[in-house]
Homo-oligomer: A and B are copies of this chain.
Amino acid sequence: MTSRASRSGNGNPDAVGFEQHDHAACVRDGMAAAEARCAEEGLRFTSVRRKTLEILLQEHSALGAYEVLDRLREAGFGSQPPVAYRALEFLVSNGFVHKIEKLNAFIACTNPGTAHYPAFMICRSCDSVAETQSMPARGALGDAARAAGFLIERTVVEAEGLCPTCADKADT
């Protein structure tokens, strides 16, 4: 429905919330946090799952399942779709990774460990993605849900538009 540029390596690899950051550190921290949580809760943080999270932390932008699969294959893991999908499902359901529904793509969580309702800002020009929080209970959606008697369990909140950098470019 919308045109889609190749996703790999897109966007500013240094954009978390569209800001600079110490990338090596955030990969390390992300892995450490997952490691800790898995140990704590008795989850099996196997090598495929570990590698998958590492790939997403490295890339630091949304990757399609098949791009993840490519990188897994290169790393010597299985080459069939379920290999990637199973690892992704594990990571998503434990909050280490989020799925961007609008892009059918996955991105590493920027603050794992904290239970939260994630929200995303997606730049339609450079495909960079920034994670933030939403508060469904507050706001119009929460009001509607209460009024209707609807029980919110999970939310998908994604804003599409222009990141600061691309907005500036467009202004000229």
Contact = CB atoms under 8 A, between A and B. Distances in A.
Copies of this polypeptide in the complex: 2
A152 B163 CA distance: 9
A17 interface: yes
A6 interface: no
A102 to B, nearest CB: 5
Interface string A114-151: 00000101011000001011111011110011001111
Nearest to A168: B149
A134 B139 contact: yes
Interface in A14-32: 17-18
A67 interface: no
A36 interface: no
Contacts of A151: 161-162, 167
A66 interface: no
A159 interface: yes
Nearest to A155: B159
B156 A144 contact: no
A141 B161 contact: no
List 7 A-B pairs, minimum CB-CB distance, nearest first: A149-B164, A132-B144, A101-B101, A139-B139, A153-B161, A156-B158, A151-B162
